[in-house]
Chain A
């Protein structure tokens, strides 16, 4: 058993940390305030090769793997979880296309998405189909050379800024994955959801009304859509949420530890108080446990394990990481007293972001179901 990073992974960690600390950190206050999508930072991550870590070279990816992606998510989220969340929302369609799309689709779409010069999003959720996506109402009917799509999706991250939206729709009794380009007639991005956290990644509703999309916009076989979507959400969405949670907790913890070492009371830094030490110890223990729960599925994916087989491992890591992040962010606020809630210290951002992760990528109960069902069978 080897718990060490490869030299490459170590250098990646350092490079991403450098990027996050020098390029991202100074932008956080402005991005939080405006809630605007950071095109330039996403491009920066693309230029560095971070967006295509799990896409292969011929399609513009770097192919360094899932561990590498987890490292990148953790490091970006340690500074700004909202930007780290791009590795979740922005990688979904990229995974679906590389894993299930045609050669033409891969060559046409992946290079720009890897570079970050184009943005994609992925829509499954609907008002009636959140935890139970099979209840979705969006339909897609073949009519000559095109599909005609009708329906609505809700809570879709980055669709407001996306050049391409991948989505799941009902095709008869089964489901299929399609994509639609920005500006297509009959496809409209509507209301932006006001959200407390993950402020720089907008979440919107969208509507299809008799929207005609070319036949060639089908990803994978017709009828296999639900399997594609579930694999995509597990391998990218849940690992993404887990990684963001891990980074957020680490960021909050470091902020709190620094504060406790600097805040002097009774003539000494409060980190000398045993009660404070216990809280810091619990936080670091929690984070470390979660870190290895996140690394393992990523490592298994790099070993070529079938994503289906490790669905429960991924679900466990998301379940634990998000609960852990919430506990940690709350403790961080607690040890910082009133400063904990001050935007100046940024620890409160981590908490707001972690709250969003309870639901994004599937709720905690759905994670429990995924783990529980595997135990029952």
Chain B
């Protein structure tokens, strides 16, 4: 079974308080903030590794990002991924979720035959949850998001459970397919020393625009239909009103006030 896992490098959520929004350029200033592999993407990788351990096959990770995103791929190697592709090119910068998915799809078509593609359900930094469905559409395969278990049927279908607000949904999916998993699916393994020492023997395939045969019109900021209209820090100010008086009257007043504020 050939499995592709999409992983993204994100600012370490433990340092989110240090992120500064630049109101002028509308950019997020993340200098000096350490980066990590998006946590749920490690769960996606763990799921892939477990499937490989059961059915054999190959796990390839793919990431689009700046050159330093190779560290994310190295970490995936340490966990046990067999192959790694880094999509890195100035032309890819500023991609919205659509061009991210498009670029990933083109690379997967070109380099990675697949039976299954696993992603995290969302990223810690942007968290649009759009990449998986968009990727599936570009590849013309079915997809399921928010997956919490993956089971195998005979033949080429999967039975997956998708977490819902009030329970879960059981879905049969035909392979090849795209699944976006959530963090309840497993506990990602901690790499061993030997695994870490083997990272240096694995090679990362680095691809740019030309390697994918794409036009700069279709990728990155240029190719992105989404425009950033505004960027601001949301501040939630709490207002406080004290209603004194007997409980019954206060309760009536409270309902009235909430109505006035359109909260009810």
Residues of chain A touching chain B, judged by Cβ–Cβ distance below 8 Å, are: 7-8, 11-12, 14-15, 18-19, 22, 47-50, 53, 62, 64, 68
Interface of A is mostly: helix
A sample of 16 cross-chain residue pairs with beta-carbon separation below 8 angstroms, ordered by A number, consists of A7-B71, A11-B74, A11-B75, A11-B196, A15-B78, A15-B190, A15-B192, A47-B192, A48-B190, A49-B194, A62-B193, A62-B197, A64-B193, A64-B196, A64-B197, A68-B193
A272 nearest CB across to chain B (Å): 16
| CB < 8 Å neighbour of A18 from B74, B190, B199 | B190
Q: Which 8 A-B pairs have the closest CB atoms?
A: A49-B193, A62-B193, A11-B196, A18-B190, A49-B192, A48-B192, A15-B191, A19-B190
CB of B250 closer than 8 Å to a CB of A: no
**B197 — which chain A residues lie within 8 A by C-beta?**
8, 62, 64
**A64 — which chain B residues lie within 8 A by C-beta?**
193, 196-197
- When chains A and B are docked, how far (Å) is the Cα of A275 from the Cα of B2? 59
Q: Per-residue 0/1 for B147-190: is the Cβ within 8 Å of any A Cβ (1 yes, 0 no)?
A: 00000000000000000000000000000000000000000001
A12→B196 contact, CB < 8 A? yes
Chain B residue nearest to A48 in the complex (CB): B192
CB of B254 closer than 8 Å to a CB of A: no
CB of B200 closer than 8 Å to a CB of A: yes
How many A-B pairs with Cβ below 8 Å? Answer: 42
- When chains A and B are docked, how far (Å) is the Cα of A64 from the Cα of B194? 9
Interface centre among A48, A50, A64, A68 (most CB of B within 10 A): A48
Q: Per-residue 0/1 for B187-230: is the Cβ within 8 Å of any A Cβ (1 yes, 0 no)?
A: 00011111011011000000000000000000000000000000
- When chains A and B are docked, how far (Å) is the Cα of A99 from the Cα of B71? 36
B74→A7 contact, CB < 8 A? yes
**A49 — which chain B residues lie within 8 A by C-beta?**
192-194
Chain B residue nearest to A11 in the complex (CB): B196
Interface of B is mostly: helix
Residues of chain B touching chain A, judged by Cβ–Cβ distance below 8 Å, are: 71, 74-75, 78, 190-194, 196-197, 199-200
B194→A62 contact, CB < 8 A? yes
Chain B residue nearest to A53 in the complex (CB): B193
- When chains A and B are docked, how far (Å) is the Cα of A50 from the Cα of B190? 12
**A68 — which chain B residues lie within 8 A by C-beta?**
193
A8→B192 contact, CB < 8 A? no
Chain A residue nearest to B71 in the complex (CB): A7
B200→A8 contact, CB < 8 A? yes
| CB < 8 Å neighbour of B196 from A15, A19, A22, A47 | A15
B199→A8 contact, CB < 8 A? yes
**B75 — which chain A residues lie within 8 A by C-beta?**
11, 14
- When chains A and B are docked, how far (Å) is the Cα of A14 from the Cα of B193? 11
Chain A residue nearest to B79 in the complex (CB): A15
- When chains A and B are docked, how far (Å) is the Cα of A7 from the Cα of B196? 9
A56 nearest CB across to chain B (Å): 13
A63 nearest CB across to chain B (Å): 8
**B192 — which chain A residues lie within 8 A by C-beta?**
15, 47-49
B264 nearest CB across to chain A (Å): 35
- Sample of 7 further A-B pairs with CB below 8 A, known A8-B197, A49-B192: A7-B199, A11-B196, A11-B199, A12-B193, A48-B190, A49-B193, A64-B193
**B71 — which chain A residues lie within 8 A by C-beta?**
7
B203 nearest CB across to chain A (Å): 14
A43 nearest CB across to chain B (Å): 13
- When chains A and B are docked, how far (Å) is the Cα of A15 from the Cα of B37? 13
A8→B190 contact, CB < 8 A? no
A139 nearest CB across to chain B (Å): 40
**B78 — which chain A residues lie within 8 A by C-beta?**
11, 15
B199→A50 contact, CB < 8 A? no
Chain B residue nearest to A61 in the complex (CB): B193
A50→B193 contact, CB < 8 A? yes
Chain B residue nearest to A62 in the complex (CB): B193
**A15 — which chain B residues lie within 8 A by C-beta?**
78, 190-193, 196
- When chains A and B are docked, how far (Å) is the Cα of A14 from the Cα of B197? 14
